[in-house]
Amino acid sequence: MIILGIESSCDETAVAIVDDKFNILAHCLVSQIKLHQSFGGVVPELAARAHLEVIDSLITQTIAKSKISLNDIDGFAGVCGPGLIGGLMVGAVAAKTLALVCSKPFLAINHLQAHALTPTLFENIKYPFLLLLVSGGHSQFVAVLGVNKYILLGETIDDAIGEAFDKAARLLGLPYPGGAEIQNLATQGDPLSFKFPKPLCTGTHNYQKNCNFSFAGLKTAVRQQIINLSVNNFQAKERANTAHNLSEQMIKDICASLQHTITDIVVDRTLHAIQIFEKEHGHLEHLVVSGGVAANLYLRMNLEKFVNNKGITAVFPPLEFCTDNGVMVAWCGIKKLQAGLIDELNTPINPRWSLEEL
């Protein structure tokens, strides 16, 4: 079985061809990061137009790279949500058109489901497993009971984790998207130099025994820290950034402290999520971590250490398949087609499509 998958829900246009023997036959990706960088975030209309500009050539290029012909493809998968409506329409309509023209099944892919199942392309993971989905728009713990069965255990009550990285980066004058940038600078900073809040976590005044997250307060704390340091540092000769008067080392220390705090929050919430999962489903074997923030090496290392101590294996996708890509969509298409979950060509786009609606 061979599936072509298209991702266009945010700021990456990506196409991939994957088979059911765990082979990636080809994958191509065009990033729009440069286009949106001067705006400090994704501009939906610009994103949609940019998807439209490259989608045809990207499909042609991916098929050529795979060395198979269009007729060899058994189904076409396109992301129908969640995401930005303009971009979703471009990718989904392209996948539907290919399915129609080739008389092959169309597979409507939920972007979060694609993130969730990506690690199963690389590792043998049995259901049920616990999923920690950490991306630019989502932070969720989900019990994954099967290809199409998801139970939400907890989620962010305000900002998503990737959003926290991106907003803090913006305050620091770093380019969008901020996560990878903060990770790089953090390697030269002291993670214990600043104390940032860990809302809802063990030991805090608003501790919650569930596995929800809260990240909005972090952004405010970073802003306040920047203001304090800027005022104190106003006379300092080492001034490096005229926007906020922080020295390079101060920026690195904030990055390291922020990344450390976010990791602490994730570890604390993961402990609760494991307890909630195990109450219902017995001993957890695999914690699957997916989505763009799963590329964070500091988070990977600390989370892995934490769950390994509990006899649980942490599974992360390879770094290049943490952030949005076409492979995850094509692989999700394989899993859906194997389960007989074919979709109608008039399946609507749903910018707010949740995993629980599957």
Nearer to ligand KG4, 19 or 165 (CB): 165
Residue 87 interacting with ligand KG4 (CB under 6 A): no
Residue 85 interacting with ligand KG4 (CB under 6 A): no
Which partner from the list ligand KG4, Zn ion, none does 293 bind, CB cut-off 5 to 8 Å by kind?
Answer: ligand KG4
Residue 324 interacting with Zn ion (CB under 5 A): yes
Pairing of strands 139-146, 129-134: antiparallel
Instruction: Please list every residue from 169 through 208 that binds ligand KG4, using CB under 6 A.
Output: 177-180, 183
Distance in angstroms (rounded) separating the CA atoms of residues 330 and 76? 8
CB 115 within 8 A of CB 86: no
- Shortest gap between Cβ of 156 and ligand KG4 (angstroms)? 13
Nearer to ligand KG4, 36 or 286 (CB): 36
Query: Among 61-69, 133-141, 188-196, 218-226, which window interacts with ligand KG4 (CB under 6 A)?
Result: 133-141
Residue 290 interacting with Zn ion (CB under 5 A): no
Q: Which residues of 331-345 are buried (b: 16+ CB within 10 A; e: fewer)?
A: bbbbbbbeeeeebee
Instruction: Please list every residue from 42 through 81 that binds ligand KG4, using CB under 6 A.
Output: none
Residue 326 interacting with ligand KG4 (CB under 6 A): no
Cα-based angle 212, 135, 80 (whole degrees, multiple of 5)? 110
Place of tokens 């602490």: 264
Which partner from the list Zn ion, ligand KG4, none does 154 bind, CB cut-off 5 to 8 Å by kind?
Answer: none
Residue 293 interacting with ligand KG4 (CB under 6 A): yes
Distance in angstroms (rounded) separating the CA atoms of residues 285 and 63? 37
Distance in angstroms (rounded) separating the CA atoms of residues 203 and 331? 41
Query: Among 63-71, 162-170, 265-273, 281-289, which window interacts with ligand KG4 (CB under 6 A)?
Result: 162-170
- Shortest gap between Cβ of 282 and ligand KG4 (angstroms)? 30
Residue 135 interacting with ligand KG4 (CB under 6 A): yes
Which residues are within 8 A (CB) of 321 and not within 5 positions of it... i.e. 6 or more apart? Answer: 118, 121, 327, 328
Q: How many residues bind Zn ion (CB under 5 A)?
A: 2
CB 307 within 8 A of CB 268: no
Residue 91 interacting with ligand KG4 (CB under 6 A): no
- Shortest gap between Cβ of 263 and ligand KG4 (angstroms)? 10
How far are the Cα atoms of 14, 96, 298 from residue 31, in angstroms, in the given order? 8, 23, 24
Of 312, 295, 287, the C-alpha closest to 131 is 287
Which residues form the interface with Zn ion (CB under 5 A)?
135, 324
